[in-house]
Amino acid sequence: MENKECIFCKIARKEIKSEIVGESNSFIAFLDINPKAKGHTLIIPKNHYVTLLDIPDKLGNELLSFMKKISSELLEKKQGDGFNVIMNNLEPAGQLVKHAHIHIIPRKDRDNLRSIV
């Protein structure tokens, strides 16, 4: 499934240039255009799903493995000493683009970034 007008679908189809840092069968990772920290990466499904609830269960293992791979690479590249994994689902939770996406945000000691938890 895809959405012709969705910006993340266009990135997944490589119609819009982005700095891709990884790709699996069903997911793609690219640097956030408005990063909260150096190396801030978005992971999106290549197919159009709006929230976590819409991503098929059968993709769960692939998604988890891909998130771990991207997060490990950020640490190996010394982008951070730790990282946050954040997913906003629906507008009240702060989702701006209606295509499921996960933020991997590298963190360093005293980086002054705030978390909601």
Q: Average model confidence (pLDDT) for the chain?
A: 93
**pLDDT tens track for 74-114:** 999 998 999 999 999 999 999 999 999 999 999 998 888 87
Is 0.95 topped by the overall pTM?
Answer: no
Q: Using the CB atoms, write b or e for 29-49: b if 16+ within 10 Å.
A: bbebeeebbebbbbbbbbbbb
Domain with 29, as residue range(s), is: 7-107
Catalytic positions, written as ranges = 101
Q: What CATH number has the domain bearing residue 13?
A: 3.30.428.10
Residue 58 has pLDDT above 70, yes or no: yes
Strand order of the sheet with strand 102-107? Answer: 20-23, 27-31, 41-45, 102-107, 82-86
Query: Does residue 29 sit within a domain?
Result: yes
> Considering its fold, how many domains does the chain have in total?
1
Asked if the structure places residue 55 within a domain, the reply is: yes
In a domain, 116, yes or no: no
pLDDT of residue 112: 80
117 has a pLDDT exceeding 60: no
Question: Can you read off the two tokens belonging to residue 22?
Answer: 């990884």
Query: pLDDT exceeding 70 applies to what percent of the chain?
Result: 97
Residue 51 lies in a domain: yes
HSE toward the beta carbon, residue 106, CA cutoff 13 A: 21
2 found inside a domain = no
Distance in angstroms (rounded) separating the CA atoms of residues 8 and 39? 18
Within a domain: 117: no
115 found inside a domain = no
**35, part of any domain:** yes
Contact residues for 9 (Cβ-Cβ < 8 A; gap 6+): 2, 3, 48, 99
